[in-house]
């Protein structure tokens, strides 16, 4: 009898949604006009679905008034706040493409994204924590020829934009909606590139609306749910699994703080009676470590999502027992797949939820192939995980060659992750084909950092690897070869060199100076040897 192949497809009684994001939001507003839609705790403001629709429509009309139209790229550079959400839906309503910009980016990363996407309008916070966004925009703007306008949140330009929309004829939106398709590109999200700079995963209404909806379906969402979203909106976790999962079910989006704060998150769950809470494992660890965590009334919690990196068994048990999240779900995916491909179900055992990333989602397919031959391997055999279906991106923005490297002729997305599919259809991620580092839920490709380190005057060669870390799962370590006569290079000096240019999570924590790297007989660097030696050096 032939072996069962490592292939499975996700069945579903509920069909895919054929709407655009704007049409889907309008249906929800009609069904639940007076239900809470959005709560911004830091701003002390809240909106019902009727009020949310009024803000979104005013902003959409304001964008049209500025000359923004279908296919134009609109950048958003801000931490989590209500205006981020307004812009997400307003751009979708007029067919403009929202370009998500990581709030941790520095000027050189900002400049690259603005130019690569051809952003014509940038909406940004003035500043956040140590980031002076306005100053960085002023610095790069002369080198960004497509950037025609900048609107700063909370400033006069934002007020004028909304005011113009409120004066406009609402009938314009219906006219514009008639020219939109669910398959239109609607969002560009940048993923760290293996060859230097990030690539812009281009996603359609159909991609992200359906992914948000079906993630919500597997969490059992209804209009009665209130979802606490401390994960960033610039990432699929926040804007798709968070916002779109909510609006497609009439549930309420709760923003606990502009960026993750464990106490603010617990405060939000208690005050807003949240039924669902999101986070990467390090966020849940931080919440559980809060001195007063057991004094909070978290009895409203039922479910939530943990994703980004594997969850330790003890953490999962505490999330269920101490936080009451009996139905907490584990998700696996990548930006290029909108993002979720597999998810655990509410009735899965704790063991399943910590040892696997669940089963394939509705209307999706996954298979495990031999990376060398591309043939599907038997169940229980490791190989590369591939996924296909409505969730696979349209491609990398203006990079058909890079798109062809990951999406094959049959539209299978090759994830680059090593996985095993068991006889019950559960997927276990066992490693990574390439050298991606996952630090606290952030995917980091060493090549981008290595290329930047080459600009240091004393560095002759650099290799960056991930090393185990209790808090973040992995931390970055740079192995460097120095030029003759160079001064001693410490981790602190290297951090100072990177500060202000690389995002904080991309700055290596450890530095190891060597004369030579471990090499294969054919002259390739052996990062596997570097990792083993680094673990010994660091006592891991």
Angle between helices 281-288 and 262-272 (to 10 degrees): 80
pLDDT at 522: 44
Q: Which residues pair with 46 in a beta bridge?
A: 39
**Separation CA 266–CA 150 (nearest Å):** 35
Pairing of strands 97-101, 45-48: unpaired
C-beta separation of 288 from 311 below 8 A: no
pTM of the entire predicted model: 0.86
Distance CA(320)–CA(210), nearest Å, equals 28
- Cβ atoms of 275 and 293 within 8 Å: the answer is no
Question: Which 8-state DSSP code applies to residue 239?
Answer: I
Q: Distance between CA 486 and CA 511 in Å, rounded?
A: 15
User: Cβ neighbours of residue 373 under 8 Å, at least 6 residues apart?
Assistant: none
pLDDT at 309: 73
Looking at residue 194, what is its pLDDT? 36
At residue 392, the pLDDT reads 98
Tokens standing for 334?
């990548």
| pLDDT for residue 320 | 95
Q: What is the pLDDT along the chain (540 residues), one digit of tens a residue?
A: 889 999 999 999 999 999 999 999 999 999 999 999 999 999 999 999 999 999 999 999 999 999 999 999 999 999 999 999 999 999 999 999 999 999 989 999 999 999 999 999 999 999 999 999 999 999 999 999 999 999 999 999 999 999 999 999 999 999 999 999 999 999 999 986 434 578 999 999 999 999 999 999 999 999 999 999 999 999 999 999 999 999 999 999 999 999 999 999 999 999 999 999 999 888 998 999 999 999 999 999 999 999 987 777 888 999 999 999 999 999 999 999 999 999 999 999 999 998 899 999 999 999 999 988 999 999 999 899 999 999 999 999 999 999 999 999 999 999 998 899 999 999 998 877 777 788 998 878 787 888 789 889 999 888 899 999 999 999 999 999 898 888 889 999 999 999 999 999 999 999 999 998 887 544 557 888 899 999 999 998
Q: How far is CA 122 from the centre of its chain?
A: 20
Sheet holding 364-369, edge to edge: 7-9, 364-369, 383-389, 413-421, 427-432
Q: Which residues, 6+ apart, have CB-to-CB distance to 63 below 8 Å?
A: 74, 90, 91, 94, 96, 121, 161, 165
CA 224/CA 221 separation, integer angstroms: 8
**What ranges make up the beta strands (E) of 356-409?**
359-360, 364-369, 383-389, 395-396
What's the pLDDT score for residue 191? Answer: 87
Tell me the three state secondary structure of residue 457. Answer: coil
| Count of all residues that appear for the chain in the document | 540
In order of their start, the domains of the chain are 21-420 (3.40.50.12780), 445-538 (3.30.300.30)
């Amino acid at each position: 009898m032939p072996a069962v192949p490592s292939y499975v497809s996700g069945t579903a009684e509920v069909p895919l949604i054929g709407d655009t994001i704007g049409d889907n939001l309008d249906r929800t507003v009609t069904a639940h006009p007076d239900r809470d839609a959005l709560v911004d705790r830091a701003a002390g403001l809240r909106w019902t679905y009727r009020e949310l629709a009024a803000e979104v429509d005013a902003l959409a009309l304001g964008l049209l008034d500025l000359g923004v139209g279908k296919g134009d790229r609109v950048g958003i550079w801000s931490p989590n706040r209500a205006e981020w959400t307004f812009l997400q839906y307003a751009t979708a309503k007029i067919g403009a493409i929202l370009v998500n910009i990581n709030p941790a980016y520095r000027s050189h990363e900002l400049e690259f994204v603005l130019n690569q996407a051809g952003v014509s309008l940038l909406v940004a916070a003035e500043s956040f924590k140590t980031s002076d966004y306005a100053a960085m925009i002023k610095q790069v703007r002369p080198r960004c020829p497509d950037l025609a306008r900048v609107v700063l949140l909370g400033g006069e330009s934002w007020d004028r934009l909304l005011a113009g929309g409120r004066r406009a004829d609402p009938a314009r939106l219906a006219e514009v909606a008639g020219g939109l398709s669910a398959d239109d590109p609607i969002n560009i999200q940048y993923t760290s590139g293996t060859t230097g700079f990030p690539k812009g995963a281009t996603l359609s209404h159909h991609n992200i609306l359906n992914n948000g909806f079906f993630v919500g379906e597997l969490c059992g969402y209804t209009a009665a749910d209130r979802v606490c979203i401390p994960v960033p909106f610039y990432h699929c976790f926040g804007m798709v699994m968070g916002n779109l999962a909510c609006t497609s079910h009439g549930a309420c989006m709760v923003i606990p703080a502009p960026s993750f704060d464990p106490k603010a998150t617990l405060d939000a769950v208690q005050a807003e009676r949240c039924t669902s809470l999101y986070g990467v494992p390090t966020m849940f660890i931080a919440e559980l470590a809060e001195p007063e965590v057991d004094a909070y009334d978290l009895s409203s919690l039922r479910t939530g999502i943990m994703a980004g990196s594997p969850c330790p068994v003890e953490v999962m048990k505490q999330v269920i027992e101490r936080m009451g999240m009996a139905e907490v779900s584990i998700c696996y995916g990548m930006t290029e797949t909108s993002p979720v491909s597999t998810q655990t179900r509410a009735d899965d055992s704790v063991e399943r939820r910590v040892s696997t990333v669940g089963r394939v989602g509705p209307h999706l397919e996954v298979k495990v192939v031999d990376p060398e031959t591309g043939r599907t391997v038997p169940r229980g055999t490791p190989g590369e995980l591939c996924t296909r279906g409505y969730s696979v991106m349209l491609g990398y923005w203006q990079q058909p060659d890079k798109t062809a490297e990951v999406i094959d002729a049959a539209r299978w997305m090759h994830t680059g992750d090593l996985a095993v599919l068991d006889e019950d259809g559960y997927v276990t991620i066992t490693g990574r084909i390439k050298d991606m580092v996952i630090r606290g839920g952030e995917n980091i490709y060493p090549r981008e950092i290595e290329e930047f380190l080459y600009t240091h005057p004393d560095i002759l060669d650099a290799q960056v690897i991930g090393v185990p870390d209790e808090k973040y799962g992995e931390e970055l370590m740079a192995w460097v070869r120095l030029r003759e006569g160079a001064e001693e290079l410490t981790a602190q000096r290297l951090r100072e060199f990177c500060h202000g240019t690389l995002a904080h999570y991309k700055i290596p924590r450890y530095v190891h100076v060597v004369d030579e790297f471990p090499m294969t007989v054919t002259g390739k660097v052996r990062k596997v040897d570097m990792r083993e030696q680094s673990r010994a050096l660091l006592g891991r």
